[in-house]
Structure 1
Amino acid sequence: MARVLVVDDEVIIAMQLEACIQGLGHQLVGSAASGLEALDLAERLRPDIILMDIKMPGPMDGIEAAERIRRRFDIPVLLITAYAEDPLIERAKQAAPLGFIVKPFHGGEIRAAIEVAITRMELERRLRDHERRYQLATSAGRVGVWEWDPETERIYLEPILRTLLGRSGESDWCAFDQWLAWVHPDDRRRVQRQLQDQFSAGVPTLELERRLLHQDGRVFWFLARTQLIEDARTGGRHLVGTDVDITERKRMETALNKSRERFRSLLETTSDLIWELDRECHFTYLSPQIYQLLGYRPAELTGSSLFKLLNRSQVAVLREQLTRMAVAGRDAQRFETVLRHRDGSAVVIETSGVSFHDSAGRLLGFRGISRDVTERKRLRDALVEANLKLEQKVAERTRHLLEATRSLKLQGRELERRSEEAVATNESLREANVALMMMTKSMERGREERDKQQALLVRTRMKPLIQRLEAGNLEETAKTQLQALAGYLDGLAAGLSGGADLAARLSETEWKIALLIKDGLNSRAIAERLGLAVDTVKTHRKNIRRKLRLKNSSINLTTHLMTNLG
């Protein structure tokens, strides 16, 4: 049932149309008497079809109203007219109506016109839906359709194909040579020959791949599927084809081929064995390295059981490893096993493998990589043995060190004991030394006291006597002897009075110089010893003679100091 809007300014005709519509079982949604009113109702009611009179009062006739309604709301219109002039019909065609009803009319004509219009409307809508889905599908799949008529040498290209090639602004039809120029130069002659052979030989279908040039110079790969169409009426032939953009697929194929080449190179250059087993543990693939590993060609072992390469003692162990691998799935398992070489020797194999399953999770087989680790195991065993020996030597050496440590501890204790004894002995010696020093000082004090008494005796007894003798009338020789005797007595008195009296009369530097003079050092040696200038030392020597009252230059200072300072 269609929803119908009637537009006619003649009330009787409008009523006839409304009755006919309802009689046909369709729904009358409204009626209008002018083009403007029809435009308003079409926007508000959105009917499925409109029956509209061409001649109506007002600024907008039925043709203009129908054209606006179709353009704005895509609602089909069936035009009604009492005029059949060609200019009017030509103008009405611009509105793309579903048909015409010419006045006067009767019920049968209206019924037929409405039924045809509604059927056509449904077909057109289905066609538009199909075209929309077709456009979506071809756009999403990057598929374009073309048609080649060899007789006219022209080719039709769908807009989507032109868009894919960056030529959407050009005409849908072009010369075959122009289209052929879009084919990559390396593919052009092959494509032309294949299409001409299909056409001339009557081959129904053809598939070919070739590169087409984009407007901006880029290159795209397309897969063309062509079909030869023969016109049964005229006997003519033409080709219809589809082009699918396979650029991405080609890129992936190129990458896959490179990956396969890398994998093939890896298989040929690696020293590891790559293998595959079915679920029954029969070899389905072996890389060429099986020959270096076990002495067999891949074809000799393909299809045979893995267990034929094992000793009986290894079978149960390997079955357990494969069981764990089947449970682990994609998680790689690593283990070692011993296989038998073709010459009978044992080869230690290190394997890393996984199991693979179908979509239902059923085990299909195993894949993995194996390598010969016989030498590594031998070295590892030798290393373990060497480590064991080293540990034994270390233990023995540790025992010796412990014994030596215990001996050193005993010796240390003995040294500590002796050290304590030495400390005690040193303490006793120190005490004895202190006592000896005290005794020495006491003796020195006694000697100094005696010396002072003797010096006093010389000064109070002997000197006055000599002075009285000098005062008498003596010969010159006797006076000289008395003077010498007086000098001697002065030196003796000075010596008896002790170094303490002498030190009190001298400065610290003069005292040091006096002691060095007593030891027999000359002025230059004393200067070097005390870090003084030689002239300074000489000046101090003069001061020492003055303070010792040695006015007589014949008295030797060194002798005097040795005599008085002992």
Structure 2
Amino acid sequence: MENAKILVVEDDREVANIIKNILQNTGFNVPIVVSGGEAAISATKILKPDLILMDIKLEGDIDGIKAAEKIKQSYEVPIIFLTANTEDDLLEIASETGPLAFIIKPFKAKDLVVNVKNALSQRKTIPNKIENGSFAFDKEFNNSLKNTANYIYTLEIRNNYPFIIQHSYGCIYVTGYSLEEYYSNPLLYYEIIYKDDKQIFIENLNRMLCRDLVEPFEYRIVRKDGSVRWVRNIPIPRHDANGELFAYDGLIEDITEKKVSEEFIKNILEAVDEGFVVIDRDYKIISANRAFYKQFGMNSETVIGKKCYEVFHKLSLPCYETGILCGVNHIFNMGTSHAADCHYHGDNKNQLYVETKYYPLKDISGNIVSAIVTMLDRTEKKKLEEQLFHAQKMEALGQFASTVAHEINNYLAAMTTYAQILKMKINKNNPLFKYVNQIILSSEKIAGLTRNLIAFGKKQELNIRPINIYNLIKKSENILSTLIGVKISLEIIFRPSLSQYKELIVNGDPDLLEQVLMNLAVNARDAMPDGGRLIIELNIEEKDNSFINSFECSETSKFVVISVSDTGIGMNEEIKSRIFEPFFTTKEVNKGTGLGLAIVYRIIKEHKGYIDVDSILGKGTTFRVYLPLFEK
């Protein structure tokens, strides 16, 4: 039973590989896997297997049942049928060929091994229909091979040189050349190999001569009629009584139609913009297209053969075991297509927002064998939607703040007036005088706050004129240095490419834009209590229409970009998402109103610009102000 040779006949390559791995890990020898009935007949002649595991449903004209019938006519090899179809009629027909067992898919590895061991232990003694040292079957079997479309050959190794000493009738079907032509020209087969594939053939031939394990390999040949065909070469080693390799018996099958079909499907998948992956029942990714690799910033080495939950979510367990809704699990359990919006992790650790659709892929028996997942990266769209929502929310908050400020002012005016009257009527030596004075001071602070609210909540009358941003920043340098204090260094960087600083013109209100710089500087200062660096950079960027339309910017495509960066404490995503909201602050009570950045946001919007922020917790923050470049 040990080292028993088992022929696996399965047209689903993934299932075939699973079976092969299970059997080889158990100690059995699986020298070949074929996918069709004709190939099974030919491989039986070459291999002389101790057992055949064969799927009932196979590609091609000869299914598993017909192949078993033909094999049984000349060779009493035990057969176990594999099937995912449990219909009584089909199993009854298959039973007529005398299989030792049926294995129903999907199956457990333990069940497969038990059935194989039982079959081998019950195996009948095979009649000696095979001549010792030769692969000539009886006349009836050889005659049946004349009608097969596969090309069987025997390659003998003499003094480390290969010689093809036998050709089957299948050489005519595959190559168009007759037996006589092959025997008269020993190099004919090498000569018909397509020129671009000769190196592949030579490399595999060298491995055969070096006694290396040779897997089936594919290449192209040029038939006698001039047509180019794809073939699959399956070499099987033959050893003498001492275990020395002395020959190979091989099977060459024409796979052109299958190859063309695969290439056609591959070209379609490579042409689409959607990411496309195929995931098997073990949650392994078995295929992916170019768009997927581009979206996720990955390559085949980091994806193919890996678990989908490891690749997409960086998890060690399937999603459904961790409480995450799993679309692939839904396919295998429910069998229905569906769509979902999911968050995935790209290779650069960034989180992607992906529009995902799941489809079941079924075999010819209607069983779901894998899940097809299409993915369209909507991260940028989602970001734009969130920013648009934020802008609308800010607009509503601004209107609300302005209304509240006006109401407060009405009461504040009366309160301040009466406090001033009371102050005039009380002697300075009166103990109540200082309390009245405090009321007036507090009222003035409230008045300043309401002015900020009103400024935030309504479009202001802007003193718009062409401004040279370079000059504005240089003019503000002394003020900014004073604001941030001596513990923080101020660095102003102008890109070398911006040689013509006089051309950095924007239409704006100089006082308000200076206020933007000061507010951002103060915000940076407060983020660096122990000191640090404040860096202001000036640049020009060109943006497309999607940027302009999404943020309601000016119609110009060129923007002056002012970047204000600090080396402070940074902030997390939650804080960053609320940083421009009025009254939102992370400072201590009485340390800030939470309006500084909200006012900055409002001023930039009124200048038909846009402000963005990036931050890394513990490393610092960068605000980028985009202002439309004024072009004459």
Question: Do both share a fold (TM > 0.5)?
Answer: no
Higher relative contact order at CA 8 Å, sep ≥6: structure 1 or structure 2? 2
| Structure with greater helix percent | 1
Bigger-Rg structure (1/2): 1
| Structure with greater strand percent | 2
TM-score using structure 1 length? 0.28
